[in-house]
Amino acid sequence: MRPCPRATGSEALTAVTAAAGVSPLFLTPLLQRQLADWLAEDLGRGDLTAPALAGRRGSAQWLAKAEGCFCGGVLVEPLFRLLDPGVVVQLHVADGSRVRAGQPLLELAGDAAALVAGERTALNLAMRLSGVATATAQLVAELEGTGVRLADTRKTTPGLRMLEKYAVRCGGGVNHRLGLDDAAMLKENHQAWAGGLDQALALVRAHAPWPARVIVEAETAAEAEAAVRAGADAVLLDEFAPEALVALVPQLRALAGGRGVVLEASGVRPDQLRAYAATGIDLISTSAPVTRSAWLDLSMRFHSPFPLV
């Protein structure tokens, strides 16, 4: 595979993801602070092996040890530059690419102590994110040709939400709400405490920014129909059997008239994705790629210094 163009900082993050057709991951101030904090967690007062490497230069290569979907390469250069501003990184595989066992992923060269100190943090992040991307890609493959999209949820690891959602995109999925502040989802408790669906929806629309969408969660056909009548932008159909949605989805479409209402199924079993897709829904949301995925095994092999171009 042709090496990706070299770039630095946010430029590097956008270049390699664009090469794979993945929406970019931006090096935001929050992400910069997180990278520094994650390094500090492992370094503590300093790597006790550093004196053995003082003043030496080193180089290394990342290899995939299993087949999967690679994710996290965009973090390698910004992370190691916190330890060695002169580190040189060459990516051979863009985030979102399928990789095989034994395939070289990237090469890096720089201060030997910095390469050793950053190895575990960098690999941990990439293995976690590659696992999420791989699990997402497997589910997306089940939906191929159906036109139904696979979305994530807010069930993410605290501190890793933006990266795990980025990994879902690398696996071919789409992001649902990033947080409570970019879309409203009215559930049973909101409706009960507000005095009903109409009251809850009116209160949210009165205070939310005008571009914000309102999603209503429904657990019965009656609740779904009420959500459409109330003017919800989307209805989350929670834990409905596929057989129930075959009849319900056309009814909701007819009830909405010409108004576009997004119909989403959640609480689905991964082995029933195609059955849900056949019901006419727009979206399937699942936490499985984040909550049930295994890390993709990667390794960093050190070797003699070499020039990178």
65 catalytically annotated: no
Q: Which of 6, 187, 213, 253 is catalytic?
A: 187
219 catalytically annotated: no
42 catalytically annotated: no
Question: Using CA atoms in the order 141, 145, 148, 152, what is the torsion angle rounded to 10 degrees?
Answer: 20
Question: Using CA atoms in the order 112, 118, 119, 124, what is the torsion angle rounded to 10 degrees?
Answer: 180
d(CA 184, CA 265): 17
Three-state DSSP state, 278: coil
238 catalytically annotated: yes
Q: Nearest CA to 69 among 298, 307, 305, 299? A: 298
The structure tokens listed for 37 are 């904090």
Q: Which of 33, 56, 120, 301 is catalytic?
A: 120
| Enclosing H/E stretch for 126 | helix 112-142
Q: Which of 56, 155, 259, 301 is catalytic?
A: 155
37 catalytically annotated: no
d(CA 280, CA 102): 41
Known catalytic residues? 120, 155, 187, 217, 238
